[in-house]
Amino acid sequence: MKVLLIDDEEDIRKIAKLAMEVVGHSQVTAAASASEGIALAKMNSPDVILMDMMMPGMDGLTALAEIQKIPQLANIPILFMTAKVQQIEINNYLARGAIGVIQKPFDPMMLCDQICILLNNDPVESN
Amino acid sequence: MHRAELETYQQFFNLTLDLLCTANSNLFFEQLNPAWETVLGWTRDELRSRPFITFIHPEDLEKTNQVASQLLDTSCKLVDFENRYLHKDGRWIHLSWVATVRNGVFFASARDITQSVATRTALASSAARLRTIIETAVDAIITFDKLGCIESVNHSASRIFGYQASELIGQNMKILMPSPYRKKDDGYHTKYHTIGERRVVGIGREVSAMHKDGTSFPADLSVSEYVIDGKKMYTGIIRDISGRKRLEKLKNEFISTVSHELRTPLTSIRGSLGLIAHGVTGILSARTQEYVDIALSNSERLVRLINNILDVEKMNSETIELQVQSLDLISVIKKAMVVNEAFVTAYHVKLSLIGDLPEKEMMVMADEDRLIQVLTNLISNAAKFSEERKLVELSVERIGDHIRVSVRDYGPGIPETFRRRIFQRFAQEDSSDTRKRGGTGLGLSISKALIEKMQGNIGFQSTVGSGSTFFFDLPQLPQSTTQDPVRAQRASRVLVKSRTRGSQFHDVIMTSFSRRKHS
């Protein structure tokens, strides 16, 4: 699975990348901002974009709308990985077209399984 | 005049209940009928013994003297007036007079109106009190007829809407509503008057109201109906809630920000510890593993505490939204058992569903995730307080039209002194419990609020030394009730079993939009 991770927090990028690569055996590209992420997505065509919500410059929802406008990227499923998970916020993400939400703090050992389930695939065996 | 006629007049004079009298120009009574003695308590001789003005209330003297002078100056004229006379027992008796003067002699009749004056005063005072209450009320109070025509407004109505009272009286209530709502209210009136459906009356609801300057603001409106002189009327009480709404918005933003700011560093801490503890970054010595596990479980505890505090805040502000749908309770219990298996095993306790399970489904209206949250709380409490190798037993039974789910442990039981506080926030049997058992003291309080929000009840039975049973009852739905597919799709969530000790429901909850992919 090719994952594009977009998060402005370097620590979180490092942890999530390690978790997905080593535990989830995925291929992960990481970007520190939404605009960098969109540029990387155009080059790499990821299977899924895992994106933070609160980011300086362009926030997650704006980035989602931008990605949906680009025909080449419009079909890539987008998951938000965020600490902003009040019910009203979650409803808003889903209404705008995100396919799921993973709550921060996340369990690094479960991250890939969660992504697979949200993508409606079977979890990857990762023991 | 014939003698018989005279006797009749005499009888009338003696028997009438009104006070009849004559008095001379020196202001002494001359003729007095017996009613004077009945009404004022004095004998007629006592009344005649001094000028009648000495029986009159000092405050009424001037007025009475004026009337007397007026009568003497313009004889023959009939005058009505009221004053107070002293009763022999010291009370003041209100008298209503009709008097005239002929040849320097006063002819007068008076009636005791003490009772009606008291009633009149009480009514006036009550009306004044009511007027004051209405005028000083913080909320706008507006009365209107069945067509919405405004009949009266209080001071706050003028203040809140920016109109003078005279600008509102006679206008339609629609003047106070922004345009999209005007039509709706017409609909209400039509509906209400044709089929009698009460959509507004008797129920407070949030509406949008409009100020004179055209700006709209949120308001709480409650309308009550009454009939006066055969005419149906309505009273609308309107409260401007813009301030409250602004505060709610600020509070929500604050909570959202605080929650985000706390969770972001925790994500790094918990994530790093998770990777280290599971050997992803290299093999650990047993001693390092032990301490990393401690750090990890405490970071997870901190996450739970933040989640619980947010839940409690939502319950307080009643902003918690439940995704209620018809559910088979047995399947929810089985899911909760799966979710909690790792946690219970870590305490060396076995989880078991006991008793005869019903052949048919047991349907309830509930929010599945929140029900699993409640079950998780009860199961984890039971596990924490159980001795090793003991059972935590779950059971389901019908009680009347409710279904009861029980979680039983064989722990130490709950001391009598703690039972009263057990559903209170941050309730722990003693302060060392928090450290020893790893709880937040909020679980039962949240569970109680959630179950009550799902129209159920929560309770417990406990015997010190033998264990405790916590249970909740939910109203059972008829078998034929099926799941609402639209609602289920809108809010389906996915649960993943936790692999780590201490990981709980909130850590492993994700939300998906019915697993929908972009098309």
In whole numbers, what is the pLDDT of chain B averaged over residues? 83
Mean predicted confidence (pLDDT) in B467-488: 71
Residues B313 and B354 in one domain: no
Tokens of B431: 């302060």
Kindly calculate the radius of gyration of chain A based on its CA atoms and give it in whole angstroms: 13
Residue B315 and residue B267 in one domain: yes
> What tens digit of pLDDT does each residue of B488-519 get?
333 333 333 233 333 333 333 344 433 333 32
Mean pLDDT, residues B432-436 taken together: 51
Q: Chain B, 218-277: which have a CB under 8 Å from a chain A CB?
A: 252, 255-256, 259-260, 262-264, 266-272, 274-275
Contact between B405 and B459 (Cβ < 8 Å): no
Q: Which of B268, B269, B503 sits opposite A107 (nearest CB)?
A: B503
B123 within domain boundaries: no
Averaged over B98-124, what is the pLDDT?
A: 93
Q: Does B518 contact A77 at a Cβ distance shorter than 8 Å? A: yes
Contacts of A120 in chain B (CB under 8 A): 515, 517
Per-residue CA distances from B254 to B249, B250, B260 (Å): 8, 6, 10
In degrees rounded to 5, what are phi and psi of residue A47? -80, -30
Q: Are residues B234 and B193 in the same domain?
A: yes
| Sign of the alpha-carbon dihedral angle for A13, A16, A20, A22 | positive
Q: Delineate the domains of chain A, giving CATH numbers in brackets.
A: 2-118 (3.40.50.2300)
pLDDT of B487 over the 50 cut:
no
Domain boundary residue, one of B285, B319, B353: B319
Cα B49 to Cα B46: distance, rounded to the nearest angstrom: 5
Subunit contact A15:B272, Cβ cutoff 8 A: yes
Tokens, residue A84: 């902003």
CB distance B271–A12 less than 8 Å?
yes
> CB of A19 within 8 Å of any CB in chain B?
yes
B310 in any annotated domain: yes
Find chain B residues with C-beta within 8 A of A113's C-beta: 496
pLDDT of residue B455 exceeding 60, the answer is yes
Residue B132 lies in a domain: no
Secondary element (H or E) of residue B372: helix B368-384
Cβ-based neighbours of B45, under 8 Å, separated by 6 or more:
none
Tell which residue, B376, B254, B266, has the closest CA to residue B313.
Answer: B254
Percent of chain B with pLDDT over 70: 82
Question: Can you give the pLDDT at residue B203?
Answer: 60
Section B356-374 average pLDDT: 83
Report the alpha-carbon distance of residue B183 to residue B174 in Å, rounded.
9
Alpha-carbon distance B331 to nearest alpha carbon in chain A (angstroms): 20
Q: Answer with the residue of higher pLDDT: B14 or B355.
A: B14
Q: Does B147 touch chain A (CB under 8 A)?
A: no
Structural tokens at position B204: 């407070």
Domain CATH code at residue B70: 3.30.450.20
Structural domain includes residue B17: yes
The pLDDT value recorded for residue B505 is 37
pLDDT given for residue B181 in this prediction: 53
- Asked if the structure places residue B518 within a domain, the reply is no
CB-based contact B515 A23, cutoff 8 Å:
no
Write down which residue in B191, B213, B240 finishes a domain: B240
Cβ of A89 within 8 Å of Cβ of B256? The answer is: yes
- Which of B305, B512, B517, B519 should we substitute to test contact with A (largest number of A Cβ atoms within 10 Å)? B512
Query: Which pLDDT band, with edges at 50, 70 and 90, does B459 fall under?
Result: very high
pLDDT at B260: 77
Q: Give chain B's domain count.
A: 4
Q: Is residue B212 part of a domain?
A: yes
Q: Are residues B315 and B328 in the same domain?
A: no
Prediction pTM value: 0.52
Same domain for B109 and B15? yes
**Percentage with pLDDT > 90 across chain B:** 50
With 50 as the cut, is the pLDDT of residue B483 above it?
no
B8 inside domain: yes
Q: Verify that B369 and B489 share a domain, yes or no.
A: yes
pLDDT in tens, B308-337: 777 777 776 666 778 888 998 998 999 899
Give yes or no for residue B117 having a pLDDT over 80: yes
B351 and B468 in a single domain? The answer is yes
Q: What is the mean pLDDT of chain A?
A: 90
Check which CATH number belongs to the domain holding B291 and give it. Answer: 1.10.287
pLDDT, one tens digit per residue, over B10-65 is: 999 999 999 999 999 888 999 999 999 999 999 999 999 999 999 999 999 999 98
CATH label of the domain that carries residue B377:
3.30.565.10
**What phi and psi values does residue B283 have, to the nearest 5 degrees?**
-75, 140
Cβ separation A105–B299 shorter than 8 A: yes
The partner residue sitting opposite B518, judged by closest CB among A54, A74, A123, is: A74
Residue A24 has pLDDT above 50, yes or no: yes
- CA of A115, closest CA in chain B: separation in Å? 9
Q: How many CB atoms lie within 10 A of CB B332?
A: 20
Distance (Å, whole) CA B412 – CA B410: 7
Residues B202 and B214 in one domain: yes
Residues B57, B101, single domain; the answer is: yes
Q: Please report, in angstroms and rounded to a whole number, the separation of the first and last CA atoms in chain A.
A: 17
**Residue B303 lies in domain:** 247-319
pLDDT in tens, A76-125: 999 999 988 877 788 899 999 999 999 999 999 999 999 988 887 555 44
Span B270-284, average pLDDT: 94
Are the C-beta atoms of B512 and B493 separated by less than 8 Å? yes
Query: Does residue B130 belong to any structural domain of this protein?
Result: no
Q: Does B10 touch chain A (CB under 8 A)?
A: no
Are the Cβ atoms of B274 and A109 closer than 8 angstroms? yes
The residue among B216, B228, B239 whose CA lies nearest residue B144 is B228
Q: Which pLDDT does position B490 carry in this prediction?
A: 37
pLDDT of residue B429: 61
Interface of A with B in 24-53 (CB under 8 A): none
pLDDT score for B194: 40
CA proximity to B497, closest of B515, B510, B516: B510
What's the pLDDT tens digit per position in B175-220? 998 875 555 544 445 444 443 444 455 566 788 999 999 999 999 9
Tell me the pLDDT band of A58, cut-offs 50, 70 and 90.
Answer: very high
Predicted local confidence at residue B497, as pLDDT = 29
The per-residue pLDDT for B342 is 81
> Is A7 an 8 Å CB contact of chain B?
no
B368 vs B471, residue with greater confidence:
B471
B403 and B419 Cβ atoms separated by less than 8 Å = no
pLDDT, tens only, B63-77: 998 888 888 887 557
Residue type, B102: R
pLDDT in the model for residue B29: 95
Taking CB atoms and an 8 Å cutoff, what residues of chain A touch B494? Answer: 100, 114, 117-118
User: Does one domain contain both B462 and B500?
Assistant: yes
Beta bridge partners of B406: B395, B471
8 A C-beta contact, residue B207 and residue B219:
yes
Residues B232 and B255 in one domain: no
Please say which residue of B89, B117, B145 terminates a domain.
B117
In 3D space, the residue among B306, B283, B360 whose CA is nearest the CA of residue B329 turns out to be: B360
Same domain, B311 and B325: no
| B517 vs A77, A86, A87: nearest CB | A77
pLDDT reading at A30 higher than 50 = yes
